[in-house]
Amino acid sequence: MTHDGPESPSAKSLLVMPALVTLAVTLLRLTGELRGWSPTFFARDAGGAAAIVGIVWLVPIFGIYFAWKLARSGPAPGAGRVVGHALLAFSLVVASALIAVRVFKLDQNAQFLVVFLACGVATWVAYRGWPVLGRTLLAYGVAARVPVMVVMLVAIFANWGTHYDVPPPDFPEMGALRKWFFIGFLPQAFLWIPFTVFAGALCGGIALLFAGRARQSVAA
């Protein structure tokens, strides 16, 4: 059974450092792109091209960090439960995308709608694996992605030519605010925040294995 023990650290104490580090990485990434630094680290392509400097790589790190802190300070569920819920969440998103594309052959807009809805359900599934971790990851996801939404809004209006404002191929011409809604707000809110929850929960569940062993060593 999952509990939010009285000894658990507060959400604020857990989130301040990760949120500040994530904001610093976002600003570093923006600076690197504006100054034309190495594309290996600061790619300007749409979607970011998996550049080395990026906040997506912080999700597993802070998923482990949150799980470790929570497990060391209070009751935690079994690692199998947390990992199982996270894997189920991933499976729901992948299966929904495949069904939308290959079975129903939906157009691109409908495909995105299906994936966004699936991400919402997947977030709930991952959350149920360990609610206190799920809430923490959700709060971190919001703290990480809202600044990105703001940066994207400014970048789009200023036409900076960074990955924050470059649309994907074949993206139709439209006004700046509408463009931000489709490539900024929707993906950040309904894809990347959910991803933070279930990817962070997966890594956090794996970390529980080591936290459990550490507890056993102390008890011995």
Structural domain contains residue 120: yes
Which position has the token pair 């630094």?
37
Structural domain contains residue 54: yes
Can you give the pTM of this predicted structure? 0.91
The structural domain count of the chain equals 1
Residue 219, pLDDT score: 41
Structural domain contains residue 117: yes
Give the separation between CA 148 and CA 22, rounded to whole angstroms.
10
Per the document, the length of the chain is: 220
Structural domain contains residue 161: yes
Residue 12, pLDDT score: 79
Structural domain contains residue 24: yes
User: What is the tens place of the pLDDT at every residue in 130-183?
Assistant: 999 999 999 999 999 999 999 999 999 999 999 999 999 889 999 999 999 999
Residue 8, pLDDT score: 58
Structural domain contains residue 108: yes
Residue 122, pLDDT score: 97
CA 67 vs CA 12, 131, 132, 168: distances in Å: 15, 11, 9, 35
Structural domain contains residue 4: no
Residue 1, pLDDT score: 41
Cβ count within 10 A of residue 9? 15
Give the separation between CA 146 and CA 34, rounded to whole angstroms.
20
Structural domain contains residue 1: no
Which position has the token pair 């976002």?
26
Domain carrying residue 72: 11-219
For the chain, 220 residues long, give each residue's pLDDT as a single digit of tens.
444 444 457 777 899 999 999 999 999 999 999 999 999 999 999 999 899 999 999 999 999 999 999 998 888 999 999 999 999 999 999 999 999 999 999 998 899 999 999 999 999 999 999 999 999 999 999 999 999 999 999 999 999 999 999 999 889 999 999 999 999 999 999 999 999 999 999 999 999 987 665 554 434 3
Q: Are 5 and 16 spatial neighbours (Cβ–Cβ below 8 Å)?
A: no
Give the separation between CA 92 and CA 107, rounded to whole angstroms.
20
